[in-house]
A and B are shown apart, each in its own frame.
Chain A
Amino acid sequence: MKLRKWLVVMLSVMLVVLAACSNSNPSGGNEGGGDKEGGADLGKEVTLKIMLPGDRPQDLDKIVAAAEQKMKEDGLNYKLNFVFVPWADLASKTQVTLTSGEEIDMIYDAPWLHINQMTSEGYYTDLTDLIKEHGQNILNAGSELIFEANKFNGKMTAIPLGSKNGHANSIIIRKDIREELGLEEVKTHEQFIEFLRAVKEKKPEIIPYSAWGVSPDLSYAGIRIENDYEAGFRVTPAFNRNFTLYLKGNEPTVYNLFDEMDPTIWSYIELTRSMYQEGLINPDIMSSPDSKVMLKSGEIASMTYTDFSMQQNTLRELQANVPGADLEIFELYKFEKNANTSDYKQNDYLAIPKASKNPVDAIKFLNWAHEQDNYNLISFGIEGEHWEAVGDTQYKPLKDSYPWFGWSFLWAPKYHKFSAEFSPEDLAKNEFYYTAENFEKDVLTDFTFDTSPIANEIAQFNSIDAKYYPLIMNGVVDPAEAWDKYKKEGEAVVKKIQNELQAQIQTFLDGQK
């Protein structure tokens, strides 16, 4: 019948096309044969597969070609296969990839992702010896403090990227609105709240303050607690955003808010609640879109900023939407030597999965990449085309087809360049922040919290915490009532976690003596 014949024809056509298509698919893995280019025999060609989050830079292929060419000249016959994963799916994709034992050579991981879990279950290769033998450049490019501090249970199972030290949040304020209201520059919290009140009164169409509600450490109460230098509250390795268990100063004792509520912390919580009730905080803070978007659209007058220096892009976009707008930063962080502690733990890592068949080549590649010229190539692109140097430590991008993604791949303190857009003060702040020696060594440096004995408790806590903690910290509910419920549900679980954590800390400290 006509229909059937037509179907058969279609199918055969498809199959032919398919056969053609499949042949042109490159696949990761080793390809045999030596390469005879450049005189010397370079050995087998190895393709390194690298999995990173975010966007594939448009000119990546160009850079990869240039890098591969350069590597050949240096005697390394490597091909680079980058795979980029959308942020929203990063967790599932990387998990599934790792647990199925797929051959990835380098992969991004982070504490907020699942690096602790993956490491304790043995997914990542121990690089300690490999890096000593083949990766001297990598070691030289970083600070020994940082490499030491980012070991997991004494082994280096991932290369730490960057050299950040803790979080430095600030509050960003619409300068033009402040000036319009005739207020002085905000340097204290009292002035800040005054500013919010003035906005509420004189400019009712603008929301005075918002934050990313879902992340309680960015709530007003959260940043007050975190930046209270006198009290010295710090989060524990158990929960990295929740102060229910907390440390004080540089002491290793774990405190429990359920056992005893700290009056300072409670005062911040009550303050935030009254601010919310007064209408100074975005009523829909828990459901609003990203507060940065709201800032750029001119809807809000201030927000918690996850940085301490102004990002020019944000300002530009704001000004595109609201001509004449301006921003300034209400700094909460102290840029003084030894004012802050740091355990030098980084937020981004590059690991080599055990399933990789080319760990030595991967390290050799990274080693090659840790030379100034090569580092510049991969990080910023082709000099003259994508970027140009400004002074010794800064650079200016010329095109936007190759944005910097080093924070997930290649970030060596020694070779890093800062954006030329930083003002001199901001540059100084950045340089301060990225220098490990400016910080007092955290007593828990090198400590890794093994969550496997209490994995169930952590899972339970996560669901209880999500129900109450963000609401309390953002002032959305009556704190006394909510805290009671929170305490009732979470007390037992938190106690178990606290005991386990304290015990592990004790063992760690004893081991240090």
Chain B
Amino acid sequence: MEQPALRKRRNLDVEYTWTGRLFTWSGYILVALFTIFCLVPFWMVLINSFAAEKEIMTNGFQLFPADFSLDAYKMLFKSNQIYSSYFVTIFVTIVGTVLAMLVTSMYAYVLAHRKVKYRNFLSFMTYLTMIFGAGLVGFYITIAIYLDLKDSIWALILPYLLNPFFAFILVAFYRSVPYELNEAATVDGASEYKIFFKIVWPISLPAISTVSLFYALTFWNDFWLSLLFIDNHKLHPLQIMLRQLISNANMKQYVSGAAMDYAQAIPTYGLQMATVCLTIGPIILLYPFVQKFFVKGITIGAVKG
């Protein structure tokens, strides 16, 4: 029997008992607090990337710097390097994510599938690779020498095609998909491939989009692979270029387009902030797009149908 309080409301889940309201409001406050806690430092990074270096040097990081300047960004963009780096990174991220999603989702599906007798063994062997890291020497020798991938763009993509952590996230998800779906499809005469690509894949959209995002981030943020395997500076992705910038004493040379006066100071701190912004930029644009895929369960409907 419906409680009278719940009858005519736009939103049927809202609580009007006092405990309910306490709960809801403390929830809101907690979220708000944590959001501010995350927002403020990010705001500092953003605003200080536009602050004049003198400001940062003399007054530290301010919420509202007194003096603004585009010097840090000017430095970054006047170079020729940044455009090619951006291109390389975008290319690697897109190709890498697509390929990685394919390989990982297929693999995870098999690990979660009931019919596969060896799935536990495979799971263990997969997980083992997470703990038993490859180690620098073996990894380097395998990729640079046995596979001869030095200075090849594939060196930036192939080593990350299957991340066990992400694979297991997908495995957990696939396990939650009711097996009845598979049975129903088999009865209808569908092959395993068809089941996977035409039935399971669409249902797994929330999980797929999550893991895609994580893969994209992995490729986007990586500098380690390029440090080890890419000596040709024309193939340097964004992260290694930024890292070079920050960790080198005489930063100007990597970037400067001769527009800067010899006597001017290098915007050290501003530069660091600006690089963070540049890195985040494209991803921030991508993320709301991905959020759209977090839609509610299509699963139940599918089974009933």
Which A residues have a C-beta under 8 Å from some C-beta of B?
1, 3-4, 7, 10-11, 14, 17-18, 21-22, 25-28, 49, 51, 54-58, 81, 83-89, 92-93, 96, 99-102, 293, 296-298, 316-317, 320-322, 397, 399-403
Q: CB-defined interface of B144-188 with A at 8 Å, one 1/0 digit per residue? A: 110000111110000000000000000000000000000000000
Asked whether, in the complex, the Cβ of B151 is within 8 Å of the Cβ of A27, the reply is yes
B266 — which chain A residues lie within 8 A by C-beta?
Answer: 317
How extensive is the interface on chain B, given as a class? 35 or more
Does B136 make an interface contact (CB < 8 A)?
yes
Of the A-B pairs whose beta carbons lie under 8 Å apart in the complex, a sample of 9, sorted by A's number, is A1-B197, A14-B94, A18-B154, A55-B244, A56-B254, A58-B258, A87-B247, A102-B150, A316-B263
Q: Once the chains are docked, how many angstroms separate the CA of A17 from the CA of B248?
A: 33
Rounded to whole Å, the gap between the CB of B2 and the closest CB of chain A is 42
Q: Once the chains are docked, how many angstroms separate the CA of A145 from the CA of B255?
A: 40
Q: Once the chains are docked, how many angstroms separate the CA of A11 from the CA of B103?
A: 13
Q: Which of B8-16, B34-42, B232-240, B281-289 contacts A (4 or more CB under 8 A)?
A: B232-240
Identity of the chain A residue whose Cβ is nearest the Cβ of B242 in the assembled complex: A86
Identity of the chain B residue whose Cβ is nearest the Cβ of A96 in the assembled complex: B140
Does B95 make an interface contact (CB < 8 A)?
yes
Q: Once the chains are docked, how many angstroms separate the CA of A500 from the CA of B151?
A: 44
Q: Once the chains are docked, how many angstroms separate the CA of A26 from the CA of B151?
A: 8
Partner of A86, one of B232, B240, B252, B257: B240
Q: Once the chains are docked, how many angstroms separate the CA of A21 from the CA of B227?
A: 20
Asked whether, in the complex, the Cβ of A14 is within 8 Å of the Cβ of B240, the reply is no
Q: Once the chains are docked, how many angstroms separate the CA of A22 from the CA of B150?
A: 11
Rounded to whole Å, the gap between the CB of A92 and the closest CB of chain B is 7
Closest 9 CB pairs of A and B: A297-B57, A88-B247, A317-B265, A55-B253, A83-B231, A86-B244, A86-B247, A55-B248, A57-B253
Q: CB-defined interface of B119-155 with A at 8 Å, one 1/0 digit per residue? A: 0000000000000000011001100110000111110
Does B110 make an interface contact (CB < 8 A)?
no
Extra pairs beyond A101-B145, A316-B265 (14, CB < 8 Å) = A1-B198, A14-B98, A51-B231, A55-B251, A58-B253, A58-B257, A83-B233, A86-B248, A87-B249, A89-B227, A100-B145, A102-B150, A400-B260, A403-B250
Does B228 make an interface contact (CB < 8 A)?
yes
Contact status of A55 and B250, CB under 8 A, knowing A93-B227, A293-B268: yes
Q: Once the chains are docked, how many angstroms separate the CA of A35 from the CA of B164?
A: 52
Does B243 make an interface contact (CB < 8 A)?
yes
Most chain B CB within 10 A, of A1, A293, A317, A322, is at A317
Identity of the chain A residue whose Cβ is nearest the Cβ of B252 in the assembled complex: A400
Asked whether, in the complex, the Cβ of B141 is within 8 Å of the Cβ of A321, the reply is no
Asked whether, in the complex, the Cβ of A296 is within 8 Å of the Cβ of B235, the reply is no
Q: Once the chains are docked, how many angstroms separate the CA of A501 from the CA of B263?
A: 48
Q: Once the chains are docked, how many angstroms separate the CA of A360 from the CA of B140?
A: 28
Q: Once the chains are docked, how many angstroms separate the CA of A402 from the CA of B198?
A: 58
Rounded to whole Å, the gap between the CB of B292 and the closest CB of chain A is 16
Partner of B57, one of A28, A89, A296: A296
Asked whether, in the complex, the Cβ of B244 is within 8 Å of the Cβ of A84, the reply is yes
Asked whether, in the complex, the Cβ of A54 is within 8 Å of the Cβ of B249, the reply is yes
Does B3 make an interface contact (CB < 8 A)?
no
Asked whether, in the complex, the Cβ of A22 is within 8 Å of the Cβ of B153, the reply is yes
Asked whether, in the complex, the Cβ of B136 is within 8 Å of the Cβ of A321, the reply is no
Partner of B98, one of A7, A85, A101: A7
Partner of B256, one of A298, A317, A400: A400
Q: Once the chains are docked, how many angstroms separate the CA of A27 from the CA of B151?
A: 7
Most chain B CB within 10 A, of A10, A86, A296, is at A86
Q: Once the chains are docked, how many angstroms separate the CA of A22 from the CA of B157?
A: 14
In terms of DSSP, what is the predominant structure of the interface of chain A?
A: mixed
Identity of the chain B residue whose Cβ is nearest the Cβ of A83 in the assembled complex: B231
Identity of the chain B residue whose Cβ is nearest the Cβ of A85 in the assembled complex: B227
Identity of the chain B residue whose Cβ is nearest the Cβ of A53 in the assembled complex: B248
Identity of the chain A residue whose Cβ is nearest the Cβ of B263 in the assembled complex: A316
Rounded to whole Å, the gap between the CB of A106 and the closest CB of chain B is 14
Rounded to whole Å, the gap between the CB of A392 and the closest CB of chain B is 24
Does B262 make an interface contact (CB < 8 A)?
yes
Q: Once the chains are docked, how many angstroms separate the CA of A316 from the CA of B53?
A: 14
B263 — which chain A residues lie within 8 A by C-beta?
Answer: 316
Q: Once the chains are docked, how many angstroms separate the CA of A225 from the CA of B79?
A: 46
Does B19 make an interface contact (CB < 8 A)?
no
A54 — which chain B residues lie within 8 A by C-beta?
Answer: 248-250
Q: Once the chains are docked, how many angstroms separate the CA of A57 from the CA of B81?
A: 12
Identity of the chain B residue whose Cβ is nearest the Cβ of A82 in the assembled complex: B233
Rounded to whole Å, the gap between the CB of A10 and the closest CB of chain B is 7
B141 — which chain A residues lie within 8 A by C-beta?
Answer: 100
Asked whether, in the complex, the Cβ of A320 is within 8 Å of the Cβ of B250, the reply is no
Asked whether, in the complex, the Cβ of B98 is within 8 Å of the Cβ of A10, the reply is yes
Asked whether, in the complex, the Cβ of A401 is within 8 Å of the Cβ of B58, the reply is no
B243 — which chain A residues lie within 8 A by C-beta?
Answer: 86, 88-89
A28 — which chain B residues lie within 8 A by C-beta?
Answer: 231
Asked whether, in the complex, the Cβ of B247 is within 8 Å of the Cβ of A322, the reply is no
Q: Once the chains are docked, how many angstroms separate the CA of A402 from the CA of B250?
A: 11
Does B264 make an interface contact (CB < 8 A)?
yes
Partner of B95, one of A14, A25, A83, A320: A14
Rounded to whole Å, the gap between the CB of B186 and the closest CB of chain A is 19
Q: Once the chains are docked, how many angstroms separate the CA of A93 from the CA of B258?
A: 30
Most chain A CB within 10 A, of B91, B94, B227, is at B227
A322 — which chain B residues lie within 8 A by C-beta?
Answer: 58
Q: Once the chains are docked, how many angstroms separate the CA of A188 from the CA of B231?
A: 50
A401 — which chain B residues lie within 8 A by C-beta?
Answer: 253, 256, 258
Does B74 make an interface contact (CB < 8 A)?
no
Asked whether, in the complex, the Cβ of B251 is within 8 Å of the Cβ of A96, the reply is no
Contact status of A89 and B153, CB under 8 A, knowing A1-B198, A403-B253: no
B98 — which chain A residues lie within 8 A by C-beta?
Answer: 7, 10-11, 14
B264 — which chain A residues lie within 8 A by C-beta?
Answer: 320
Q: Once the chains are docked, how many angstroms separate the CA of A139 from the CA of B80?
A: 39
B254 — which chain A residues lie within 8 A by C-beta?
Answer: 55-56, 58
Identity of the chain A residue whose Cβ is nearest the Cβ of B248 in the assembled complex: A55
Most chain B CB within 10 A, of A28, A54, A397, is at A54
Q: CB-defined interface of B195-232 with A at 8 Å, one 1/0 digit per residue? A: 00110010000000000000000000000000110011
Asked whether, in the complex, the Cβ of A297 is within 8 Å of the Cβ of B58, the reply is yes
Asked whether, in the complex, the Cβ of A58 is within 8 Å of the Cβ of B256, the reply is yes
Asked whether, in the complex, the Cβ of A298 is within 8 Å of the Cβ of B251, the reply is no
Q: Once the chains are docked, how many angstroms separate the CA of A7 from the CA of B97?
A: 12
Q: Once the chains are docked, how many angstroms separate the CA of A96 from the CA of B53?
A: 37
B91 — which chain A residues lie within 8 A by C-beta?
Answer: 17
Q: Once the chains are docked, how many angstroms separate the CA of A403 from the CA of B266?
A: 14
A320 — which chain B residues lie within 8 A by C-beta?
Answer: 54, 264-265
Asked whether, in the complex, the Cβ of A100 is within 8 Å of the Cβ of B144, the reply is yes
Identity of the chain B residue whose Cβ is nearest the Cβ of A58 in the assembled complex: B253
B268 — which chain A residues lie within 8 A by C-beta?
Answer: 293
Q: Once the chains are docked, how many angstroms separate the CA of A42 from the CA of B247?
A: 41
Asked whether, in the complex, the Cβ of B228 is within 8 Å of the Cβ of A93, the reply is yes
